[in-house]
Structure 1
């Protein structure tokens, strides 16, 4: 990565401090415009619906500031807000555990770095947005996979899969970029996040537990 490109990326991340995520600016702007037009034309029903839509978008794209807890250096935190759906042991040389987290429209949609690390790989697959109950959703829905690696060469994989959503998965990160634990790297509205963890990891969550991105501890590398 060139120095100039790296500075541009860092500037983009540091400017993402408004109460509403920048990914929602266009939808919120168009909704405000529609509200004004309907108000001028005295179309009360459409004005009311546009107002409700505006409140919905502001809620979905909210961008709260969060105090990052002082966890140990080898810790991993949740990259998303949501509820733990499952925890599985894998028969895999690279990853030994898989944790699935369900995020809904009620959760903050921002994605945050699970550990201080470098983004080693990004894989984006565009696809459908079927309901979670559909048998095909895990295979054909839109998804993004990222691999994070810290300075001790501990590596984890994070997969984000959309459910029924009106927006794409947004990423504000590039490969080989260094991230601080808890920093924002993208946005996903209504989806499933899967964290793949290596053998030298101690899981610290349970099924049904509610997690907050950057604030909930997933576990530690041993």
Structure 2
């Protein structure tokens, strides 16, 4: 995915292909209603799996950018030795689904937990929904943990990276359709965003390490 420069993310190829096939079959059989619905489904999949190329701003070396598109819904201070801040970002079907590396780093750990896809309003969602946790570590041994949790979605969380892999800030590393992303930051970090702000993956500066 890091080198995928096509306008559509490769994870969407199969769904788009099957939808095109269904559209052709319904057109041949003159099933106009099904043909219309398959056309709408095709447009929906193209929109959800769009893969825009973005100009990466030239931030400082110690910077962290947003890993996803979405709205910042909370900033919480933690009483934790490893992480002092927790930021939650809500992404919907209207947002670009690609995940982008928050800082130039290597991947320390990847933890994948398969599960349900309940609404975020469900009290069980945070316990049973599918989630992926990735810990990034930069050359100064600063750690940033990013947790992606699905809400109601038709697709799994996709990762296209492995542990110990080196990534450049802003590069693609996965895909999540409709979910909540939580970013954990250490004590030596200065947060540069505010609740309610619209964030763009790889383009919105979250803050700096001091």
TM-score, length of structure 1 as denominator length: 0.94
Alignment of 1:215 with 2:203, yes or no, is yes
User: In the TM superposition, what are the counterparts of 1:54-93 in structure 2 within 5 Å?
Assistant: 54-93=42-81
Gapped runs of 5+ residues in structure 2?
Answer: none
Query: What SS class does the counterpart of residue 49 from structure 1 fall into?
Result: helix
Alignment of 1:193 with 2:187, yes or no, is no
Number of residue pairs the alignment of both structures matches: 210
Give 1:177 deviation, angstroms.
Answer: 0.2
Alignment of 1:108 with 2:107, yes or no, is no
Query: What SS class does the counterpart of residue 2 from structure 2 fall into?
Result: helix
Name the residue aligned to 1:8: none
Alignment of 1:27 with 2:4, yes or no, is no
Tell me, in whole angstroms, the C-alpha distance in 2 between the residues paired with 1:214 and 1:97: 20
Give 1:13 deviation, angstroms.
Answer: 2.6
Deviation beyond 6 Å, 4+ runs, structure 1: none
Correspondent of 2:113 among 125, 128, 150: 125
Alignment of 1:206 with 2:194, yes or no, is yes
Correspondent of 1:148 among 128, 136, 147: 136
The one-character-per-residue Cα deviations of 1:193-216 (angstroms, maximum 9, x if unpaired) are 000000000000000000000000
Tell me, in whole angstroms, the C-alpha distance in 2 between the residues paired with 1:37 and 1:121: 45
Query: What SS class does the counterpart of residue 195 from structure 2 fall into?
Result: coil
Alignment of 1:17 with 2:5, yes or no, is yes
Root mean square deviation of aligned Cα? 0.5
Tell me, in whole angstroms, the C-alpha distance in 1 between the residues paired with 2:44 and 2:74: 29
Give 1:110 deviation, angstroms.
Answer: 0.1
Gapped runs of 5+ residues in structure 1?
Answer: 1-11
The one-character-per-residue Cα deviations of 1:23-42 (angstroms, maximum 9, x if unpaired) are 00000000000000000000
Tell me, in whole angstroms, the C-alpha distance in 2 between the residues paired with 1:164 and 1:13: 26
Correspondent of 2:156 among 168, 171, 177: 168
Tell me, in whole angstroms, the C-alpha distance in 2 between the residues paired with 1:17 and 1:168: 22
Tell me, in whole angstroms, the C-alpha distance in 2 between the residues paired with 1:81 and 1:138: 20
Query: What SS class does the counterpart of residue 13 from structure 1 fall into?
Result: coil
Correspondent of 1:41 among 19, 26, 29: 29
